[in-house]
Amino acid sequence: MSELLIFNIGELVTAEGGSALPPSRVRLKVFKDAGIFIKNGRISDIGPSGDLIKKYGSSFSIDVDGMVVVPGFVDPHTHLIYAGCRHDEFLRKLHGESYVEILKEGGGINSTVMATREAEEEALVELAKYRADLMLAGGTTTVEIKSGYGLDYQNEKKILEVANRLKDEVPQDIVVTFLGAHTIPVEFRDRREEYLELIVSRMLPDFRHLAEFTDIFVEDGAFSPDEARVILKKAKDLGYGIKVHADQLNDLGGGGLAADFGAVSAEHLDYVSSESLKKMSQNGTVGVLLPTSTFFMRGKRRPPVELFRRYDVPMALATDHNPGTSPYYSMHSAMVFGVLYFGMTPEEAFLAATLNAAASINRGNLLGTVEVGKQADLLVLNTHSWVHLFYEPDRNPVEVVIKRGRIVYEKGHHS
């Protein structure tokens, strides 16, 4: 039996509930001088610090000396498993070259696909572990990982297998998503129907035991709404949860398409329409916003946060970690950009990185809040107020990371 008492908490900050909260219901609870008792990896008791010391004084305990405790951050959209680097392309873009020009020369996503295909599984595991370590240091305790840099049967399977191996290799919970429909691979450029058939007839059925969700990039130059319907219908019939890359560069109705298929989330949404947001609101689809990606790409348009509020669509945040358009690791950064760049309130951004992010991967009943019965995924922040997450935007305040009631990171060291 494992027990842990955390006491002398200056501020315990959390939302409440097990499902995504829309903007009209965004509320945070702030408890002063609080304590948390953890038993067998779950939160067992919450109350005034002095009361819990009297009840559980003999348990292993941590005095956090007035610091802030919040739920562990959940990153519900990453492309964590890949090889290669694209810093040279980044420099070329800053000097005026377009992505299309770079793509025609074999760069862009094609260069990442090539490097990932060439990489051995063990190399991909080590690279992903390193990246997960960086995320852990920033307070991310749960990570969704998409495939999509293999784009053939063998290499998509390899990426999914690496993602599943990580479940035993890193402290975080890992949630796996199949994104074979990321783009059409070069070798199928003139045979796109064959690639669609490969996804529908072989990959989706064969990878069901390797991935919980299926995702698809609905965009000009990737997959059309009609193609997406074919893939998503098959995925849903096979029992996958549905996620959709939607309306990132154009309004193709991707958000509404996601809602039509009962998707747990639609992601990006820089160009999402009112019509799509209405459908998402009606069907309970969470909007996962990716501000570091939009910023890094110097996007011309940002998600219409006011419309999310008008139609009461729950908002989550994610890093979109990937080598081409968002080489960010920190959910703290996503939260800061969500507020200062997208115009979210601090309360919305906090919820978007915790409960709503958890709900966007079907984990809201387990993660995202500090409540009795939930998994004890907690962060101790070296500050006197949660507002410093935004007030000091470039300082990482994470002092301690607790995963399932166990300390997994402390002052730069993790076990």
* Phi and psi, residue 344, nearest 5°: -75, 155
Nearest alpha-carbon partner for 375 in 103, 72, 107, 81 = 72
The C-alpha atoms of residue 1 and residue 50 are separated, in whole angstroms, by 23
The C-alpha atoms of residue 73 and residue 396 are separated, in whole angstroms, by 13
**Percentage of residues in the chain with pLDDT exceeding 90?**
92
H or E segment to which residue 14 belongs = strand 3-14
SS3 call for 314: coil
How do residues 282-302 score in pLDDT, each as one tens digit? 999 999 999 999 999 999 999
Is domain 3-71+369-414 given the CATH code 3.40.50.970 in the classification?
Answer: no
SS3 call for 15: coil
pLDDT band per the 50, 70, 90 thresholds, residue 261: very high
How do residues 197-207 score in pLDDT, each as one tens digit? 999 999 999 99
Q: Which fold has domain 74-359?
A: TIM Barrel (3.20.20)
Q: Which residues pair with 61 in a beta bridge?
A: 5
How do residues 151-190 score in pLDDT, each as one tens digit? 999 999 999 999 999 999 999 999 999 999 999 999 999 9
Provide the greatest CA pair distance for the chain. Answer: 71
The C-alpha atoms of residue 96 and residue 298 are separated, in whole angstroms, by 13
pLDDT of residue 100: 65
Tell me the average pLDDT of the chain.
96
pLDDT of residue 105: 75
3-state helix, strand, coil in the chain (%, to 5): 35, 25, 40
pTM beyond 0.95, yes or no = yes
Amino acid identity for residue 370 in this structure: V
Does 327 score more than 90 pLDDT? yes
Amino acid identity for residue 338 in this structure: G
Task: Answer yes or no: are the C-beta atoms of 80 and 126 closer than 8 Å.
Answer: no
Does 272 score more than 80 pLDDT? yes
Show the DSSP H helices in 250-304 as ranges: 254-260, 274-283, 291-296
Does 1 score more than 60 pLDDT? no
Q: Do the domains spanning 3-71+369-414 and 74-359 agree at the CATH topology level?
A: no
Segments making up each domain of the chain, as ranges:
3-71+369-414, 74-359
Tokens of 216: 């698809």
